[in-house]
Amino acid sequence: MQLHRIGAAALAVALTLLLSLPAQAQQVRINGGGASFPFPLYSAWFRHFNRDNRGIRINYQSVGSGTGVRNVINRTFDFGASDAAMTDEEIAQVRGGVLVLPMTAGEIVLAYNLPGVDNVRLPRAVYPLIFSGEITNWNDPRIVAANPGVTLPDRTIRVVRRSDSSGTTFVFTQHLSAINESFRTRVGTGTSVSWPNQPNIIGAPRNDGVTATVNQTVGSIGYIEYFFATSTNAQVAMLENAAGQFVAPSDESGQAALAGADLTGKDLRIWVTDPADPAAYPIVTFTWMLFFREHGNERISAALRDFVTWALADGQGMAADLGYIPMPKAVVERVQAEIPNIR
Which pTM value belongs to this model?
Answer: 0.87
Provide the pLDDT confidence category of residue 19 given band limits of 50, 70 and 90. very low
pLDDT at position 331, please? Answer: 95
In degrees, to the nearest 5, what angle opens at C-alpha 310 toward C-alphas 304 and 312?
Answer: 105
The mean pLDDT of 200-224, rounded to a whole number, is 98
pLDDT at position 134, please? Answer: 98
Residue 255 has pLDDT above 70, yes or no: yes
Residue 5 has pLDDT above 90, yes or no: no
The mean pLDDT of 239-249, rounded to a whole number, is 98
pLDDT at position 102, please? Answer: 98
pLDDT digits (tens, 9 = 90+) for 292-321: 999 999 999 999 999 999 999 999 999 999
The Cα 326–Cα 188 span in angstroms is 30
The Cα 33–Cα 251 span in angstroms is 26
pLDDT at position 301, please? Answer: 98
Residue 9 has pLDDT above 60, yes or no: no
Residue 16 has pLDDT above 80, yes or no: no
Domain with CATH 3.40.190.10 in the chain: 28-106+284-341, 107-258
Which residues, 6+ apart, have CB-to-CB distance to 279 below 8 Å?
Answer: 245, 247, 252, 253, 256
pLDDT digits (tens, 9 = 90+) for 99-136: 999 999 999 999 999 999 999 999 999 999 999 999 99
pLDDT at position 23, please? Answer: 43
The mean pLDDT of 12-38, rounded to a whole number, is 69
User: Do residues 239 and 127 make contact, with C-beta atoms less than 8 angstroms apart?
Assistant: yes
pLDDT at position 267, please? Answer: 95
**Alpha helical stretches, state H, the chain:** 2-19, 39-52, 65-73, 88-92, 127-131, 141-145, 167-179, 181-186, 206-216, 226-230, 251-258, 298-313, 329-338
Domain at 107-258: CATH architecture:
3-Layer(aba) Sandwich (3.40)
**Among 10-19, 62-71, 307-316, whose mean pLDDT is lowest?**
10-19
pLDDT at position 8, please? Answer: 52
> What fold, for 28-106+284-341?
D-Maltodextrin-Binding Protein; domain 2 (3.40.190)
DSSP assigned state of 146: T
User: Do residues 184 and 190 make contact, with C-beta atoms less than 8 angstroms apart?
Assistant: no
Q: Report the b/e string of 223-236 with b at 16+ CB within 10 A.
A: bbbbbbbeeeebbb
Which percentage of the chain shows pLDDT scores above 70?
92
In degrees, to the nearest 5, what angle opens at C-alpha 136 toward C-alphas 241 and 153?
Answer: 90
What integer best gives the mean pLDDT of the chain?
Answer: 93
The mean pLDDT of 30-52, rounded to a whole number, is 97
pLDDT at position 160, please? Answer: 98
pLDDT at position 14, please? Answer: 45
Provide the pLDDT confidence category of residue 279 given band limits of 50, 70 and 90. very high
